[in-house]
């Protein structure tokens, strides 16, 4: 109520100011007409007689053109345009009224143009003078002196927001931009003084306390270059999030944050065919296995942004399921789509059957899997039970219940695996290949590398090591991995679904592999701890290899209609032999026979190279002899 009263009070105060400006401009026009000397009495009397008409028509025009919807504190070009329109209209109506009443007797012809210009000057000048008065704190501000990188739309919006900030935390002193055309230009009185290469010299010259990067559309390579230049200044750096992450596309000082690893390693924004994606899921009931994990949870977020008829989420982690429930229920409270949460083990086939039958599931995204390589190495039975038999069981239920589509989230570790995790994910791919075509259910596999920021990822590990004071442990100086963001991976999975016809093995374009040592160096630098924290090389862990691959040599691949989605031609499998191997694997797992489990896995994935398990198997065979 108080805010509303204050708003109306400001409007009426502005209206009263403008009302008083009308007689000043009207009589001032006569004064100017007679060269600032005495106005003849008969003409002055006529001016006074017509003044009420001028006030009525001009005030009506001012109100009609919405001059009092704007705020003087933020007067801008649109406000000036409204003033011009209102003054012109008011002047024309005044001229017409005076003509009808007096036939323009004793009205000098130059008075109307002089009146219009005088009133325009008073109304516009007072507003911009008021804005200058409110913004004058900038000239004597004591906040942090900031250099803004990027003189585009984002930079202009950011500086405008900084200048309006009554707290006066940041004071923009200069722009830098690589565009030669912008050199020497000004935005809100702030000059573009150089390019990004000049940042160190400009920082010293203008005594900059902080650098703000305002290029949300920049590619990762550009961000790395800018960040490297800024790092040499030893000045704190903040940046705006990427274009896709800016809420409603609005740029504000509130959006500023520290540079993240995703900014430096991220990729170009993904262009998606949202109409096709929405069509593939609209009105469908969707199930996401492992919905509490990094990829599963992001898939749920993306699906809920579409128009599904229902979403079923299950996970075997109570905490993860609780977290995703809290988030989705709050974020999508207004959605008509019902979300169902179930704490279920993937290997519980009775529960799987009930869920799919109860909710009439039409699309399944299978993201549930054990994924940590060193942890799974000595636990091949557990890995096989969850990643292989769990996938097999869920796929069997999908076929029995006539589910329309089944999407498997796979891994680049499934290609020429050297570890248990990769081998079991490869067999999971074979499971989908085996079931496709048995019924109406279409099976699709989407294979990609690591995702930045997933739980238990190298980024999370490095972050914890940084908090503890280091060192950051890297297995090998030359070890590389493919990376993409969780959001990008999830969106491309959805795009793959919309493109599928059944039986495809889609592989996401991961770009160039990145050295883990480079990631460690960047994280240390971003934390500003180059002198305190070192990198320690500890050697490859069991099952790890120096580099990952996206394709097997016998998987020729072709481009699809989407630039970042490739299609690999799957290797042919003997379905009868595969089915027999699955039965043998089920028997070995039920008997806790790890040697037999490994033998079956090796038979299914002959390219598996795992010296540790070979040695273990040979040793135990020798003991039996």
The domain boundary, picked from 77, 101, 134, lies at 134
Q: If we measure between CA atoms, which residue out of 586, 581, 583 comes closest to residue 385?
A: 586
CB atoms within 10 A of CB 609: 15
| Whole-number Cα distances in Å, 190 to 156, 163, 183, 193 | 10, 11, 12, 9
Q: Is residue 267 part of a domain?
A: no
Q: According to the 3-state scheme, what is the secondary structure of 190-253?
A: EEEEECHHHHHHHHHHCCCCEEEECCCCCCHHHHHHHHHHHHCCCCCEEECCCHHHCHHHCCCH
Whether residues 552 and 579 fall in one domain: yes
If asked whether residues 560 and 485 sit together in one domain, one would say yes
139: pLDDT strictly greater than 90: no
| pLDDT tens per residue across span 353-380 | 999 999 999 999 999 999 999 999 999 9
Least confident of 38-52, 274-288, 307-321: 38-52
Res 229 pLDDT > 60: yes
Q: How far apart are CA 463 and CA 262, in angstroms?
A: 13
Instruction: Give yes or no: residues 349 and 459 share one domain.
Output: yes
Note the pLDDT of residue 319: 96
Q: Cβ neighbours of residue 225 under 8 Å, at least 6 residues apart?
A: 196
Tell me the whole-structure pTM to 2 decimals. 0.69
Strand pairing of 480-481 and 514-515? antiparallel
Closest by CA to 575, choosing from 433, 392, 399, is: 433
User: What is the pLDDT, as a whole number, of residue 7?
Assistant: 47
The answer to whether the CB of 547 falls within 8 A of the CB of 480 is yes
Claim to verify: residue 419 and residue 530 sit in the same structural domain? yes
User: Per-residue pLDDT averaged across 470-481, rounded?
Assistant: 89
pLDDT at position 619 is: 43
Residue 624 lies in a domain: no
**Bridge partners of 388?**
none
Q: What is the pLDDT of residue 211?
A: 92
Check residues 68 and 206 and name the one with the higher pLDDT. Answer: 206
Indicate if the alpha-carbon torsion angle 108, 113, 117, 123 is positive or negative: positive
455 domain residue, yes or no: yes
pLDDT of residue 616: 47
Tens digit of each residue's pLDDT (9 = 90 or more) over 59-105: 888 788 776 655 444 455 667 787 888 888 888 888 887 777 777 77
Residue 288 has what pLDDT? Answer: 98
Q: Where are the beta strands (DSSP E) in 425-583?
A: 442-448, 450-452, 472-474, 480-481, 483-485, 505-508, 514-515, 535-537, 557-559, 565-568
Same domain for 323 and 197: no
Report the DSSP pairing between strands 186-187 and 472-474.
unpaired
Domain boundary among 231, 259, 287: 259
For residue 220, the domain's CATH number is 3.40.50.720
Other beta carbons within 10 angstroms of residue 214's beta carbon come to 25
Domain count, the chain: 3
* Banded model confidence at residue 493, pLDDT cuts 50, 70, 90: very high
Question: Domain ends where: 232, 259, 286?
Answer: 259
Residues 387 and 308 in one domain: yes
Q: What is the pLDDT of residue 379?
A: 94
**Does residue 230 sit in the same domain as residue 172?**
yes
- Dihedral of alpha carbons 483, 485, 490, 492, sign: negative
The verdict on 307 and 382 lying in the same domain is yes
Tens of pLDDT, residues 531-578: 888 999 999 888 888 888 888 888 898 999 998 999 999 888 899 999
* pLDDT for res 612: 47
DSSP state of 155: H
Q: What is the mean pLDDT of the chain?
A: 84
Query: pLDDT tens digits, residue range 285-296?
Result: 999 999 999 999
**Same domain, yes or no: 165 and 298:** no
Q: Give the SS3 label for residue 364.
A: strand
Q: Pick the residue with more confidence: 62 or 429?
A: 429
Residue 292, pLDDT score: 94
* Residue-wise pLDDT tens digits, 252-272: 667 778 877 777 776 666 788
Do residues 407 and 537 both lie within one domain? yes
The answer as to whether 285 is a domain residue is yes
163 to each of 130, 135, 173, 235, 424, how far by Cα in Å? 14, 7, 11, 21, 58
325: cis peptide before it, omega within 30°?
no
Specify which residues 365 forms β-bridges with.
288, 407
- Is position 320 within any domain? yes
Instruction: Print the domain residue range for 117.
Output: 2-134
Q: What angle is formed at CA 87 by the lines to CA 33 and CA 32, rounded to 5 degrees?
A: 10
Q: What is the pLDDT of residues 381-426, one digit of tens each?
A: 999 999 999 999 999 999 999 999 999 999 999 999 999 999 999 9
- Say what percent of the chain tops pLDDT 90: 41
Highest mean pLDDT among 148-162, 188-202, 208-222, 495-509: 495-509
How far apart are alpha carbons 199 and 185 in whole angstroms?
17
For residue 260, the tally of other CB atoms under 10 A from its CB is: 18
Burial class (CB in 10 A: 0-12, 13-18, 19+), 531: exposed
Is there a domain that residue 617 lies in? no
Separation of alpha carbons 296 and 302, rounded Å: 10
d(CA 22, CA 54): 8
Answer whether residue 21 is part of any domain.
Answer: yes
User: CB of 174 within 8 A of CB of 204?
Assistant: no
3-state secondary structure of 270: coil
Assigned token pair, 493 = 């999975």
Q: Identify whether residues 298 and 398 lie together within a single domain.
A: yes
One domain, residues 113 and 149: no
Q: Is residue 618 part of a domain?
A: no
Q: What contacts 68, CB < 8 A, 6 or more positions away?
A: 11, 14, 15, 62
């Amino acid at each position: 109520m108080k805010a509303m009263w204050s708003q109306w009070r400001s409007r009426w105060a502005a209206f009263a100011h403008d009302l008083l400006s009308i007689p000043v401009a009207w009589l001032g026009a006569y004064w100017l007409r007679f060269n600032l000397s005495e106005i003849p009495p008969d003409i002055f009397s006529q001016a006074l007689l017509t003044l009420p008409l001028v006030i009525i028509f001009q005030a009506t025009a001012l109100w009609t053109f919405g001059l009092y919807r704007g705020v003087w504190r933020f007067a801008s070009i649109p406000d000036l345009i409204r003033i011009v329109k209102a003054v012109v209209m008011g002047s024309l109506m005044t001229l017409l009224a005076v003509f009808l009443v007096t036939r323009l007797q004793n009205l000098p012809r130059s008075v109307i143009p002089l009146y219009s210009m005088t009133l325009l000057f008073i109304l516009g000048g007072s507003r911009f003078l008021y804005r200058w008065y409110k913004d004058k704190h900038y000239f004597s501000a004591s906040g942090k002196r900031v250099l803004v990188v990027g003189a585009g739309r984002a930079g202009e919006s950011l500086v405008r927001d900084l200048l309006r900030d009554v707290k006066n935390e940041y004071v923009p002193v200069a722009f830098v931009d690589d565009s030669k055309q912008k050199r020497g230009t000004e935005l809100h009185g702030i000059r573009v003084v150089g390019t990004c290469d000049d940042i160190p010299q400009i920082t010293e010259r203008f005594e900059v306390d902080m650098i703000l990067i305002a290029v949300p559309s920049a590619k990762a390579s550009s961000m790395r270059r800018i960040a490297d230049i800024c790092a040499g200044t030893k000045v704190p750096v903040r940046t705006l999030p990427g274009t896709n992450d800016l809420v409603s596309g609005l740029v504000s000082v509130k959006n500023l944050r520290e540079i993240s690893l995703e900014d430096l390693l991220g990729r170009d924004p993904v262009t998606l065919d949202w109409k096709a994606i929405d069509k593939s899921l609209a009105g469908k009931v969707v199930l996401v296995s492992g919905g509490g994990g990094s990829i599963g949870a992001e898939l749920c977020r993306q699906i809920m942004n579409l128009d599904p008829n229902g979403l079923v989420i299950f996970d075997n982690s109570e905490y993860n399921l609780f977290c995703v429930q809290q988030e989705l229920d709050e974020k999508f409270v207004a959605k008509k789509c019902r979300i169902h949460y179930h704490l279920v083990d993937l290997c519980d086939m009775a529960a799987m059957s009930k869920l799919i039958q109860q909710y009439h599931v039409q699309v399944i995204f299978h993201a549930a899997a054990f994924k940590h390589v060193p942890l799974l190495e000595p636990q091949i039975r557990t890995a096989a039970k969850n990643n292989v038999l769990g996938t097999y069981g869920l796929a069997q239920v999908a076929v029995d219940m006539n589910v329309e589509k089944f999407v498997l989230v796979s891994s680049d570790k499934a290609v020429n695996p050297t570890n248990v995790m990769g081998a079991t994910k490869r067999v999971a791919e074979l499971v989908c290949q085996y079931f496709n075509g048995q019924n109406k259910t279409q099976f699709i596999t989407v294979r990609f590398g690591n995702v930045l920021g997933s739980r238990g990822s190298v980024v999370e590990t490095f972050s914890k090591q940084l908090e503890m004071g280091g060192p950051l442990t890297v297995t090998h100086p030359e070890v590389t991995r493919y990376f993409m963001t969780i959001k990008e991976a999830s969106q491309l999975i959805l795009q793959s679904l919309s493109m599928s016809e059944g039986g495809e093995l889609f592989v996401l374009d991961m770009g160039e592999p990145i050295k883990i040592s480079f990631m460690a160096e960047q994280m240390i630098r971003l934390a500003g701890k180059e002198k305190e924290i070192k990198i320690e090389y500890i050697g490859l862990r069991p099952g790890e290899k120096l580099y990952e691959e996206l394709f097997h040599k016998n998987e020729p691949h072709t481009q699809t209609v989407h630039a970042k989605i490739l299609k690999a031609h799957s290797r042919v499998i003997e379905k009868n032999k595969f089915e027999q191997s699955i039965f043998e694997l089920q028997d070995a797992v039920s008997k806790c026979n790890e040697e037999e489990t490994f033998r079956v896995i090796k038979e299914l994935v002959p390219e598996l190279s795992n010296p540790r398990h070979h040695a273990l198997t040979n040793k135990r065979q020798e003991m039996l002899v």
